[in-house]
Amino acid sequence: MRHDFREYAANKMSMSESGCWTWTGSLDKDGYGKSWQEGGSYRAHRASYEFFVGPIPAGLTIDHLCRNRACVRPDHLEPVTNGVNIMRGIGVAPVNVRKTECPSGHAYSGANLRIEGTERLCRTCQNARRRRRYKVRWANDPVFKAKLLASTARWKSRLLPGTNTSNQTQ
């Protein structure tokens, strides 16, 4: 049986207004939160995704958009294809296979490698770009900022019913 993830909200997560829900329970050696499912330990972000969003499709792994491995906020989690699986499945243009590093020198391997079509992408660089865009929008786009704050307030009131969210429009 699946654990009711909401039970963790009060004492295992630190929910900041604008960002991550950082797991405050124990972490595994890779820095992912550890929750308990069916008597065994289970990565908390995967449990959160499955509880709030749905089953993780077979063959996909959960990627943190925020790069915070301890974060369990469902809208910071995205199921992605494991690059290795794609490479085995459809093959990649030989010229791309030979490249082992992105233009900035990050390795095209393991979790840093992302494959779209026949293109090999560097996750480190992609995320740096994404974070920069996010920061710029957060600073300059009041509608974007208000939306994020409202969504956090909604989550918070759903997970922690006692929380005062009357000022969520600020």
Contact criterion met (CB below 8 Å) for 100 and 109? yes
Between residues 20 and 44, which has the closer beta carbon with respect to Zn ion? 20
Note whether 120 binds Zn ion by CB under 5 A.
Answer: no
Contact with Zn ion (CB under 5 A): which of 68, 81, 118, 168?
A: 68
Distance CA(94)–CA(75), nearest Å, equals 35
Note whether 169 binds Zn ion by CB under 5 A.
Answer: no
Note whether 102 binds Zn ion by CB under 5 A.
Answer: yes
**41 phi, psi to nearest 5 deg:** -85, 150
Note whether 124 binds Zn ion by CB under 5 A.
Answer: yes
Collapsing DSSP to helix, strand or coil, 134 comes out as: helix
Q: Which stretch binds Zn ion (CB under 5 A): 16-24, 51-59, 87-95, 149-157?
A: 16-24
The amino acid at residue 49 is Y
Between residues 43 and 73, which has the closer beta carbon with respect to Zn ion? 73
Between residues 104 and 140, which has the closer beta carbon with respect to Zn ion? 104
Contact with Zn ion (CB under 5 A): which of 20, 62, 86, 113?
A: 20
Distance CA(140)–CA(39), nearest Å, equals 47
Measured CA to CA in angstroms, residue 32 lies from 29, 49, 57, 58, 138 at distances of: 7, 13, 20, 20, 26
Q: Residue numbers of the site for Zn ion (CB under 5 A)?
A: 20, 66, 68, 71, 73, 76, 102, 104, 106, 122, 124-125
